[in-house]
Each structure stands twice: as C-alpha cells, then as structure tokens.
Amino acid sequence: MSHTLRSMASVTGLAIALLSPAAAVKAVDSHACARVVGAAERLACYDHAFPPPPEVHEETARRARQAFGMAPAQARVVAPGRAAAQAEPDRIEDRVAAVDYSSGGRRRISLENGQSWDVVDTTSSGPVRQGDQVVVRKGLLGAFLLTTPAGVSLRVRRMR
C-alpha cells in the first residue's frame, strides 16, 4: 500500500473513531461540567462554557413573563440552570382586557397577555377598568400586588 493510501486510511479511521458514539461520549465525559452532580448546576456550567445565542435568552425571558405569578406546581421550568433572579421578572406591566365580578364573589382581572388574577383581599378596593394600564409585582412572602392607575395596591392571586 502506498504512503498516500495509508495516510488516507489513517485519516478515515480517525474520522470514524471521532464520529462514533463511544468517542462522542468520551469527549463529553472528559469535560469538567460532566462531573458536576446537580442538574441545574451542570447546565449552568455548560451554559458558561458554551454560551447560548441571544435568541435563547430572549425566549427564556418571554417564558418567564408568561409564567410570572403561577404557583410552582403550575409553572413550567423556565430556565433550568439559571438563578431564579435571572429568569423571573419582579413585575409585569400590562393593560386590563376585562374585569369580571362573577367569579365566586371576587373580582377577576384579565390582562391582555392572557393572564387572569383574582383580587384576594376583599377589604381593599380600587377601581380597575378595561383598558387600564396596571402593574403586577411580587410582594412579601410569595404574595402579588396589582397596582391600579390611581396607585391603589390590591393583593391578587394568579388564576390563569
């Protein structure tokens, strides 16, 4: 066999070895992140080593806004491997799509983004009308507050 044929055979053999699943597993196992035990920490390690493109960060932020205020059992994983402060916003701003007074004696405020919030504190009142721009923000101990255009804060719970 000529020297050129032997070189081509060596290169072909190397390419096959590198493309084989066993070689791929060995390459992944040799990365420092592969030895990180916790799933979230391991993903954060890989994200640091191989930063995701901007579209991934934009989609993560969109999903976090969509999940804002949902109970943990209802919420989907928004950004595994990222700190909660990085993934979830502290507040959202949106326009009121509808106000319904027939939901079990409570006011239900539906926003244009599709979220529905029930006013859970019946002792506080504040006018909220369709078309109003409102802010929903995190309060203390897992509570959420909806602030009306008049500056009145109402304690609310995310329903949808």
- 108-134 pLDDT, tens digit per residue, is 889 999 999 888 876 667 788 899 999
Residues 129, 115, 108: CA angle, nearest 5 degrees:
45
Using the predicted structure, report yes or no on whether residue 16 has a pLDDT greater than 70.
no
Hey, how many other C-beta atoms are within 10 angstroms of the C-beta on 109?
A: 27
Q: Which position has the higher pLDDT, 5 or 88?
A: 88
Q: What is the pLDDT of residue 116?
A: 92
The span from the CA of 105 to the CA of 100, in Å, is 10
Share the mean pLDDT of the chain. Answer: 75
Sorting pLDDT into bands at 50, 70 and 90, what band is 96? very high
Max mean pLDDT range (76-80, 81-85, 88-92, 101-105): 88-92
pTM for the whole structure: 0.52
| pLDDT for residue 21 | 57
The better pLDDT of the pair 53, 142 is held by: 53
Closest CA to 117 of 69, 66, 63, 65: 69
pLDDT on residue 130 = 92
Half-sphere exposure of 140 (CA within 13 A, CB side): 0
- Beta carbons of 107 and 99 less than 8 angstroms apart: yes
